Amino acid sequence: MEIKEQISLMAKTAKEMAPAIATAKTDVKNKALKKIAQGLKDQLASLLEANAKDVAYAQEKGLSKAMIDRLTLTEDRVEGMINNLYEVIALPDPVGNITKMWLRPNGLKVGRMRIPLGVIGMIYEARPDATIEAAALCLKAGNVVILRGGSEAINSNIILGNIMTAALVKAGLPEKAIQVVPITDRDAVLALLEMEEYIDLIIPRGGEGLIRFVTEHAKMPVLKHYKGVCHVYVDDKADLEKAKKICFNAKVQRPGVCNAMETLLVHEGIAEKFLPDMLKTFSQAGVEIRGCPKTCNLFPSAKAATEEDWPAEYLDLILAVKIVADMEEAINHIAKYGSNHTEAIVTENYSRAWEFLEKVDASVVLVNASTRFNDGNQLGLGSEIGISTSKLHAYGPMSLEELTTTKFIVFGEGQIRT
Amino acid sequence: MEIKEQISLMAKTAKEMAPAIATAKTDVKNKALKKIAQGLKDQLASLLEANAKDVAYAQEKGLSKAMIDRLTLTEDRVEGMINNLYEVIALPDPVGNITKMWLRPNGLKVGRMRIPLGVIGMIYEARPDATIEAAALCLKAGNVVILRGGSEAINSNIILGNIMTAALVKAGLPEKAIQVVPITDRDAVLALLEMEEYIDLIIPRGGEGLIRFVTEHAKMPVLKHYKGVCHVYVDDKADLEKAKKICFNAKVQRPGVCNAMETLLVHEGIAEKFLPDMLKTFSQAGVEIRGCPKTCNLFPSAKAATEEDWPAEYLDLILAVKIVADMEEAINHIAKYGSNHTEAIVTENYSRAWEFLEKVDASVVLVNASTRFNDGNQLGLGSEIGISTSKLHAYGPMSLEELTTTKFIVFGEGQIRT
């Protein structure tokens, strides 16, 4: 069968399975999730074996150390996947909730009922744990899912797919409700992106290149973020102790992730007092500083920042630093160079806190807290399937509720329109 | 300037205006809406004159009577546009509402604040009143809008654009917050659909051909419905008096709209009792009946339905009729041939009412009420910008809230992630 035909068949089957999953009761979906957890335990050996093949091939191909690390499964990581499944089981099921209900003058009772989106296509890169995470959230929210992981993880993903298929059957659900695309050819991605008739939403996760490719070619809506160019603005009314802790955490705790700080903006009124000590601490932690001219004056070991540094997502121990005249300049800088992902202000001033919150357009805006909190678990939503900077129903971390929509339900007693 | 350059400049300008409109206070936005209403009054003569040019040209080109009717403005219709503006002014402003707020174990206070989507592109056909309706809703919800109406209405739309621009300035808002595309060439639409960097959402309204074209080419999310193939299912437990009133209203009150009934499904248990009288009433109202074999047996003057009739959106006094063995067959028929738009059941049976509501996947599902209620005003949302069968945050009629999303806001006291 040709790739396009094969993908089309998968997508059509997915659509056909959607009603059964959409109306499955919570306890049946939870049973399937438990059976997946059980399957991961039972088949640990063959999963690690398949993963070892992927890793060996990745080493042969000379993939980066970071890539190979993300690809590698260990007993601990599988344990983590199992724990994640139990977290999803514990989350309340959003499907069927009637979020509002009101009475019309003609006696019609109108409500909004939460329903699954339908069929979700996930397109992602190396991490095989994402295969389980994404499938678990989609299933719990009543959606059918088609998973297209990176070609590097194909052996791992096929085993994971088999474990999930068996679990669905054990729970009495259709096995095709979760499908792993077994084709590593990029044409399989292209074919998926054409299936507007069958797939309701595409969620890509990975590097900017992958995401731009998906957005360029998808005929259906895409929820995604390209990158996280996150700022912390330290106001002249900031508590500098808090500022130091927050900035250090935002940059250093895990520099390779999308919610890490990439640029530090500092009000000129406290720059002299705050920056030398702060930048020294950063330097000692191995952070390379790229500063505006004023910053370089205050901290001579900084490199001079160029125009390319302001929109850069380093994902590394590098930090751009700019001294600004006031909050307005900070907000304008963020509007120009930010990526609508995560933005924070450190200030003790009430009016500035609110002004920053209201004016800055980002999926998460924080006052006096680290940018690292842009995360489903950290914000209290539970496990997440990714972070959206697309402005649709999901702007920010996407957990169960973001994988649903609502339909209108109307109870009448024979009303007609006049 | 080339078309693409010109459109790119419009879109870039729109994006630049977005923060000013997003943070405009409700009373300023309402002032602009009032000034638009005033402008329509003051410039009635020149508006009708420009519209007469459009109508004359449409007649020359031999457009259909229905098209010309939709294109034509009269004093009454302008009065309707003004009333619509006052309805939008009266609607509560969703922007800035904090819809939820919760406390995390570490003391972070996390909330979701309603914010505008940003820049919305409207692509629509002949009706010039849509120009005002769409712009008013987008503005009230804090969005910048680019309007690309049908080429037939270009003279009317340019005047309407000028009226709106002047009103924005009078209210102290940037005049480019509402822009009418002055180019009738279809390349202008194509260029708009490429502007993913500047336009957050496209809403197309019009015939299926236009909407498929937009979906095919848009790089950004599209909220739309292709067509409304709406069903009424009359259950054997129905109150037949209610059923007759509802079916007649759903088909005949306004057959040319997307929420009119196109197919009637009748439980075989009451077909003999219900259908002959019902179909006679339809025939007397000029409705052509296309029935399944059983229907034709009961009502010999019906034409035999073919396979093409079941997915057909007639938008006319034609009705497909099918007798089904039970509700399950009705639900399956709707799943196969429906368009996720509007579906109704008539029944007095409690369990069937709920089963139909839960199982049928449509933007509005009704019990004992006419399909004609799928409409923003009728459901109590206020004025609407269209009906979405895309499954995103908006599934059903789209009013102010559907033109917004939420961002997360976080209040901390120095929290860092550990």
Q: Which domains does chain A carry?
A: 3-223+398-410 (3.40.605.10), 230-379 (3.40.309.10)
Cβ contacts (< 8 Å) between A364 and chain B: which residues? Answer: 407-410
Q: Which of A396, A406, A410 faces B373 most closely, judged by CB atoms?
A: A410
Mean pLDDT, all residues of chain A: 94
Interface of B with A in 327-346 (CB under 8 A): 335
Contact status, residue B389 vs residue B313, Cβ threshold 8 Å: no
Q: Which of B335, B379, B409 faces A408 most closely, judged by CB atoms?
A: B379
Q: What pLDDT is recorded for position B145?
A: 98
**Closest-CA distance of chain B to residue A227, Å:** 14
CB contact under 8 A, A253 and B390: no
**Closest-CA distance of chain A to residue B333, Å:** 13
What is the residue type of B277?
D
Contact status, residue A290 vs residue A320, Cβ threshold 8 Å: yes
Residue for token pair 């933007």: B363
Contact status, residue A3 vs residue A185, Cβ threshold 8 Å: yes
* B1, pLDDT greater than 80: no
Contact status, residue A128 vs residue A58, Cβ threshold 8 Å: no
Residue of B144, B373, B384 to mutate, interface with A, max A Cβ within 10 Å: B373
* B226, pLDDT greater than 80: yes
Q: What are residue B401's DSSP bridge partners?
A: none
Cβ contacts (< 8 Å) between B253 and chain A: which residues? Answer: 416-418
Residue of A392, A401, A406, A418 to mutate, interface with B, max B Cβ within 10 Å: A392
Contact status, residue A264 vs residue A320, Cβ threshold 8 Å: yes
CB contact under 8 A, A104 and B410: no
Torsion angle in degrees (nearest 10) through CA of A306, A310, A312, A317: 80
Torsion angle in degrees (nearest 10) through CA of A96, A102, A107, A108: -40
Interface of B with A in 221-280 (CB under 8 A): 221-222, 239, 241-242, 245-246, 248-250, 253
- The stretch B29-50 carries a mean pLDDT of 98
DSSP character for B105?
T
CB contact under 8 A, A357 and B239: no
Q: Does B373 touch chain A (CB under 8 A)?
A: yes
Distance CA A135, CA A144 (A): 8
Distance CA A25, CA A35 (A): 16
Residue of B98, B410, B411 to mutate, interface with A, max A Cβ within 10 Å: B410
pLDDT of A83-112, one tens digit each? 999 999 999 999 999 989 999 999 999 999
CB contact under 8 A, A368 and B23: no
Contact status, residue A254 vs residue A315, Cβ threshold 8 Å: no
Q: What pLDDT is recorded for position A296?
A: 97
Neighbours of A394 (CB within 10 A): 26
Q: At A149, is the pLDDT very low, low, confident or very high (cuts 50, 70, 90)?
A: very high
* A393, pLDDT greater than 80: no
Interface of B with A in 82-101 (CB under 8 A): 96
**Closest-CA distance of chain A to residue B115, Å:** 9
- The stretch B210-229 carries a mean pLDDT of 89
Q: Output the six-digit token pair for A258.
A: 């999308």
Provide the ipTM.
0.90
- Output the CA torsion sign for B230, B233, B234, B239: negative
Encode B173-206: b = buried (16+ Cβ within 10 Å), e = exposed.
bbebbbbbbebbeeebbbbbbbbbebbbbbbbbb
Q: Output the six-digit token pair for A353.
A: 């806190």
Distance CA A198, CA A188 (A): 15
* B290, pLDDT greater than 80: yes
Q: Which of A117, A215, A246 faces B391 most closely, judged by CB atoms?
A: A117
DSSP character for A385?
S
* B106, pLDDT greater than 80: yes
CB contact under 8 A, A367 and B410: yes
Distance CA A11, CA A196 (A): 9
Q: Output the six-digit token pair for A20.
A: 């059964």
pLDDT of A245-263, one tens digit each? 999 999 999 998 899 999 9
Nearest CA in chain B to A393: B393
Q: Output the six-digit token pair for B302.
A: 């019906």
CB contact under 8 A, A110 and B411: no
- The stretch B67-80 carries a mean pLDDT of 93
| pLDDT cut 70: percent of chain A above it | 100
Chain Cα centroid distance, residue A125? 13
Distance CA A50, CA A153 (A): 9
Which parts of A72-127 fold into alpha helices (H)?
Answer: 75-90
| 3-class secondary-structure state, position B13 | helix
CB contact under 8 A, B216 and A216: no
Beta-carbon-side half-sphere exposure of residue B35 (alpha carbons within 13 Å): 21
Interface of A with B in 172-201 (CB under 8 A): 196, 200-201
Q: Residue B276, exposed/middle/buried by CB under 10 A (0-12, 13-18, 19+)?
A: middle
Cβ contacts (< 8 Å) between B246 and chain A: which residues? Answer: 414, 416
Q: At A73, is the pLDDT very low, low, confident or very high (cuts 50, 70, 90)?
A: very high
Q: pTM of this prediction? A: 0.89
Q: What pLDDT is recorded for position B391?
A: 83
- Output the CA torsion sign for A241, A243, A249, A252: negative
CB neighbour list of residue B81: distance below 8 Å, 6 or more residues apart: B40, B129, B132, B133
What is the residue type of A320?
A
- The stretch B382-392 carries a mean pLDDT of 87
Q: What are residue A51's DSSP bridge partners?
A: none
Distance CA B127, CA A367 (A): 46
CA distance between the termini of chain B = 55
Distance CA A390, CA A125 (A): 20
CB neighbour list of residue A404: distance below 8 Å, 6 or more residues apart: A94, A95, A114, A115, A116, A117, A141, A142
Distance CA B43, CA B38 (A): 9
CB contact under 8 A, A201 and B365: no
Residue B228's nearest CA partner among B341, B397, B361 is B341
Residue B361's nearest CA partner among B331, B393, B398, B330 is B331
| 3-class secondary-structure state, position A77 | helix
Distance CA B102, CA B368 (A): 39
Distance CA B222, CA B263 (A): 28
Residue B201's nearest CA partner among B4, B375, B386, B381 is B386
* A161, pLDDT greater than 80: yes
Cβ contacts (< 8 Å) between A212 and chain B: which residues? Answer: none
**Helix (H) / strand (E) containing A163:** helix A154-170
Residue B29's nearest CA partner among B111, B144, B129 is B144
* A36, pLDDT greater than 80: yes
What is the residue type of B227?
K
pLDDT of B10-27, one tens digit each? 999 999 999 999 999 999
Torsion angle in degrees (nearest 10) through CA of A30, A32, A38, A44: -130
Residue of A101, A108, A196, A398 to mutate, interface with B, max B Cβ within 10 Å: A108
Q: What pLDDT is recorded for position A64?
A: 87
| Dihedral pair phi/psi, residue A142, rounded to 5° | 85, 15
